[in-house]
């Protein structure tokens, strides 16, 4: 079962960097934009690891280009670093919202980004996935960078998940390869829609839950489950709330054998019709069949029958939850 989703920042949660920063640096310095565009290819790893600042990185670039005079201009190098850093602050709101929705759906949310200290200090608090993540791992603080195995292991340990229980999104193949070498499921990010589709396919492939799972509990109508006993009516016939409860119980029973220890399902929606009355003493039977799996969301068709005919039909939605986390969140919410 996938328990954690881990996101890169640049070109995944952030919007792609345009060519404008390099062009602005060209206008300021007279150095061709293509030189500035090469900075990450030449010096990024040490920058991301926190070995040197952005200004120092651009000084190294200028010296590499034979412009020691510019490299010695500290104010100019800091200007270049600021232009570069500022361009990465803009989020892809849809991607950020999706990451947070996965967390809301029960997945642990991790951030794993090769990113400099200056950016985190200036913009980190304004990026919701950074703030809300169960664990945010930044290369500059760890002195490790992707695709090194150790940084992936650091995230897994902090999220308390096994490698096969995590999926990592990144726009660079070398980082996806690094994640896979650490045993993590890797999805190369080319677009939000592609990422959603790939995650859905992955969840379907690793989950034992799939369409067709069924259960068939069979109780008897007695004085405890009539409309008059449940307060939903005055007559001694099988109560609609009792039928709905039986359908929910049946769906929960269908899913339970396929869940890992510490996980269960909770009902979130019921849409049913009660088609006919059933008297005391007659046996009723409910069926639930799983017809759709969407991450942790399970959709069942449900039916109920007595000894004579079908008495109810509809659909029922349930979500898989981590019991400890669910109860912990509930306790915190009750204190607010």
Catalytic: which of 117, 240, 301, 315? Answer: 240
Catalytic residue among 274, 289, 303, 316: 274
Q: End-to-end distance of the chain based on CA atoms, in angstroms? A: 32
Among residues 335, 212, 198, 225, the alpha carbon closest in space to that of 280 is found at 225
Query: What would the two tokens of residue 191 be?
Result: 């677009």
Containing 320, the helix (H) or strand (E) segment is strand 310-322
Residue 240 bears catalytic tag: yes
Helix spans in 182-236 (H): 192-206, 227-230
Beta bridge pairs of residue 297:
294, 319
118, 165, 248, 289: which one is catalytic?
A: 248
Burial class (CB in 10 A: 0-12, 13-18, 19+), 239: buried
How many Cβ atoms sit within 10 Å of the Cβ of residue 135?
18
Residue 9 to residue 23: CA distance in whole angstroms: 23
Is there a catalytic annotation at residue 248?
yes
**Distance from C-alpha of 254 to C-alpha of 248, rounded to nearest angstrom:** 10
Which of the residues are catalytic? 240, 248, 274
């Amino acid at each position: 079962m996938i328990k954690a989703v881990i996101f890169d920042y640049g070109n995944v949660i952030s919007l792609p960097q345009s060519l404008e920063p390099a062009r602005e640096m060209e206008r300021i310095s007279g150095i061709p934009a293509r030189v500035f565009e090469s900075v990450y290819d030449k010096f990024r790893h040490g920058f991301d690891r926190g070995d040197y600042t952005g200004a120092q990185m651009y000084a190294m670039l200028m010296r590499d280009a034979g412009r020691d005079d510019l490299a010695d201009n500290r104010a100019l190098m800091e200007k270049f670093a600021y232009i570069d850093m500022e361009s990465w602050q803009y989020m892809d709101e849809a991607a950020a919202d999706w990451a947070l929705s996965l967390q809301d759906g029960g997945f642990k949310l991790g951030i794993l980004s090769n990113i400099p200290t200056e950016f985190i200090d200036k913009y980190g608090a304004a990026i919701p996935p950074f703030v809300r993540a169960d664990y945010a791992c930044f290369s500059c603080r760890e002195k490790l960078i992707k695709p090194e195995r150790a940084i992936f292991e650091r995230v897994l340990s902090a999220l308390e998940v096994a490698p096969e229980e995590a999926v990592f999104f990144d726009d660079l193949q070398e980082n996806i390869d690094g994640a896979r070498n650490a045993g993590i499921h890797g999805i190369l990010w080319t677009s939000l829609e592609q990422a959603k589709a790939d995650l859905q396919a992955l969840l379907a492939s690793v989950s034992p839950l799939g369409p067709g799972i069924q259960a068939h509990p069979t109780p008897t109508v007695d004085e405890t489950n009539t409309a008059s006993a449940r307060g939903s009516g005055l007559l001694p016939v099988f109560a609609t709330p009792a039928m709905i409860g039986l359908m929910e119980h049946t769906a929960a029973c269908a899913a339970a054998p396929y869940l890992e220890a510490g996980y269960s399902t909770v009902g979130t929606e019921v849409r049913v019709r009660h088609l006919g009355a059933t008297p005391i003493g007659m046996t009723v039977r409910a069926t639930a069949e799983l017809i759709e799996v969407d991450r942790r969301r399970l959709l069942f068709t449900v039916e109920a029958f007595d000894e004579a005919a079908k008495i109810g039909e509809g659909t029922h939605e349930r979500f898989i939850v981590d019991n400890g986390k669910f109860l912990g969140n509930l306790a915190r919410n009750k204190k607010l």
